[in-house]
Structure 1
Amino acid sequence: MSSPRSNPADDVQLSFITEEQKAAAEKEIVEHSKRIEFYLTEYTVELLASKMESGEFVIPPYQREDTWEPERKHRFIESLLMGLPIPFLFFWESPTSGKLEIVDGSQRLRTIQQFILGGMVLGELENLSSLEGMSFNDLPESRQRKIKNRSIRGIVLNEHADEQARFDLFDRINTGSKIANKAEVRRGALVGPFLNLVIELAQDDQFAALAPVPDKQAKLREREELVTRFFAYGDGLDGYEDRVSPFLFAYAKKMNAYLTENPTATDEYKKRFGQTMKFVSEIFPYGFRRTRDGVATPRARFEAIAIGTFLALKENPALTANQISVAQWLDSDEFREVTGSDGANAIARLERRIGFVRDRLLGIVK
């Protein structure tokens, strides 16, 4: 009787993986693991509220906003009271102060502080409806003690974890969550002259008029994300590998160092941004919006127009608005296709949409 035949696909797969590849994979895992050093901890609810109140827990700039709506806060407290599992808290241990910076969990910690020490009054609840309209101090003392004694686990990245490790951790924890988290994290993890410039330009009145964003996105630094992309992509895509987040992080870190050593260059970047926005305002009737009454700025459309315009002006500084009409192609199917969201971050798509606008402004129609 013949033995069962092996799956040909298995044989092919085995033949492709060499010992050198296995060794390289192991080396890569080890190198990245070195950056992630942590320890587990556990805090009572009472201690968490106390540390928030005293400032022992540091809320970084990218988590300054109290973004939870009352309904979400009340639902979280209801979960806490019911004894449901609470997700881990993540901290980073400052090597200088020894305080713990909140990497993930600031909204939960704020809510605990507000309920235990801040007099929060519970609104409509799904299961504990008899508690509606009550605060922590309205509960029986025995229940207050039980709530205070409840513990929540935390993970602390120790002082040896670098800024990229903190960024990666926050990014992975929040995968699929609010759109601007990466801009928020860069804001806190990479404090320096470049991020200061980005923050300043994001608040520019002309830019705000050209690039409207919904209130929630504005609070989550969406305009800062757009400004960072403008400079990063405008300076070239060397090292870009279809992943926006690490590319922008590396660029922002490099630019902080560059502007620290060359502070006068800040004015050059500010001038670049101002000239580009002025030109856009003169020739694009809706700015970066799709329609006159649009209330949002699609990222792909912004990248195409903003960076395409900058590169056209860079190639031909004498270019003027009265030489150009965008009406022929701005509402075309081709422009809609190149600024579509399908595979938007692939480098080929990114280069194509930027090049499309650049070439039209320069009068180069391929």
Structure 2
Amino acid sequence: MALIEEIEKRSREIKTDGYSMSIGEMMSLYKDGDLDVHPEFQRIFRWSEEQKARLIESILLGIPVPTIFVSQRPDGVWDVIDGVQRLSTLLQFVGVYLSEDGEQVEAEPLRSTEYLPSLGGYVWENDQEGVLSFDEVQRRDFKRAKLDFRIIKKESDKDAKYDLFQRLNSGTELSAQEARDCLLVMLNASMYRWLVQLSTNDKFKNTVPLTSRKEDEGFRQELVLRFHLYKDFDGGKGELQQEFGEYLTSWMRESAESKKFDLSAHEKAFNDVFKLLDTALGEDAFRRFDSDKNRFLGAFSISAFESIVSGLAQSYGLWKGREPEELAGRIKAMWGEEYFRDNSGTGVSARRRMPRLVHFGRGYFA
């Protein structure tokens, strides 16, 4: 009986509807501001020109395109949850897609495809001699092609669209942080832009050198997000009740929707902490210190990051008037602390490690 009740309860919380519309109708919704494709997503979702051409090929050949999921906001606007790249590719191809800055984004000429090799070089519309362009009939037929939408209605539970986004994008090529970035864009776009802006801080970049792969996966933005989590963390030293990645996402969602989250205070702490660290140690700030060799070794350490920024985020005011060498010495000595070593090894899970090192760092740097 419990299962039946759970199904009935949850199904009442999520109201959906199916809808089919032409590409032309979708274009009109977009131009009228009734469809939000979130141009910020273009930083996250990366489609090649070949992928874009294959989508256009599918439309031309009548091959069904996967359903596009949208959520209806209280103001009636549709938020795209799944299908951002499909819609932005179509809008860009027909010449109406706008960037974050409101500028028109021009489409590259199409590439040749498997079934339409002659498609290579074509654009939507161009009267210049020698330029391959769709004719009027092709443009009209293209705009009449249908797209299937699944709409989460505004009466649904407020978390439904975020839960759906996470379900639809689990197992995709998105990294965990890229998925968080998308959620944050939908939750609080200004906070997302703030997060990206902090990730470009020169002092932060100097102290956290990352590989190109890590940069592409959004790990730098994740570290910025972690900084603010560590600063606010009010749990005990016990193991987290969920995996750390899930915990970070949950905290981000709560903070993005909270009016109590003080962006200016967090930004000041972030800037001051990384200014101190850059002056004291630069790129060695989060590398392991070998006391026998009297030098820093290895790559970036997440355990060091957790301990150091957690402590300094609380106590940076105490260190601002001291000599950089004093902070450098304190960080070097940290690597000899038994409690730090016991809780920072590879065998320690993040859900256990993080609470302990946050509390350790706060005491150690106080």
Structure 2 length normalisation: TM-score? 0.70
**Aligned counterpart in structure 2 of residue 274 of structure 1, from 271, 275, 293:** 271
Q: Which segment drifts farther, 306-315 or 72-81?
A: 306-315
| 2:118 is the alignment partner of 1:123 | no
Distance 2:51 2:29 in 1: 22
Distance change >3 Å, CA 338–CA 67, structure 1 → 2: same
Distance change >3 Å, CA 84–CA 194, structure 1 → 2: closer
Distance change >3 Å, CA 310–CA 122, structure 1 → 2: closer
Deviation at 1:166, TM superposition (A): 1.6
Paired residue total: 326
**Aligned counterpart in structure 2 of residue 226 of structure 1, from 220, 223, 226:** 223
**Aligned counterpart in structure 1 of residue 284 of structure 2, from 283, 286, 306:** 286
**Aligned counterpart in structure 1 of residue 329 of structure 2, from 320, 323, 334:** 323
| Secondary structure of 1:110 counterpart | helix
The equivalent residue for 1:178 is 174
Contact 1:212–1:289 (CA<8 Å) still a contact in 2? no
The equivalent residue for 2:14 is 36
Contact 1:167–1:185 (CA<8 Å) still a contact in 2? no
Distance 1:103 1:165 in 2: 11
Distance 1:210 1:200 in 2: 16
The equivalent residue for 1:10 is none
Aligned ranges for residues 140-159 of structure 1 at < 5 Å? 141-159=136-154
Distance 1:106 1:193 in 2: 19
Over the matched positions of the two proteins, sequence identity in percent amounts to: 23
Distance 1:78 1:226 in 2: 40
The equivalent residue for 2:53 is 74
Distance change >3 Å, CA 166–CA 361, structure 1 → 2: same
Write out per-residue CA displacement over residues 298-349 of structure 1, whole angstroms, 9 at most, x where no aligned residue: xxx34x223211344458986742433539959xxx97x9465x8955x124
Distance change >3 Å, CA 202–CA 160, structure 1 → 2: farther
Q: Unaligned 5+ residue runs, structure 1?
A: 1-21
**Aligned counterpart in structure 1 of residue 352 of structure 2, from 348, 354, 362:** 348
Contact 1:42–1:152 (CA<8 Å) still a contact in 2? yes
Matched AA of 2:62: G
Q: Unaligned 5+ residue runs, structure 2?
A: 97-106, 126-132, 289-295, 320-325
Aligned ranges for residues 4-43 of structure 1 at < 5 Å? 23=2, 25-43=3-21
Contact 2:70–2:149 (CA<8 Å) still a contact in 1? yes
Q: Which segment drifts farther, 103-112 or 179-188?
A: 179-188
| 2:85 is the alignment partner of 1:107 | yes
Deviation at 1:124, TM superposition (A): 3.1
Write out per-residue CA displacement over residues 121-170 of structure 1, whole angstroms, 9 at most, x where no aligned residue: 21232331122112345345554444333212111111123442221111
| Secondary structure of 2:159 counterpart | helix
Distance change >3 Å, CA 165–CA 225, structure 1 → 2: farther
| Root-mean-square deviation over aligned CA pairs | 4.3
Distance change >3 Å, CA 254–CA 130, structure 1 → 2: closer
Structure 1 length normalisation: TM-score? 0.70
| Secondary structure of 1:160 counterpart | coil
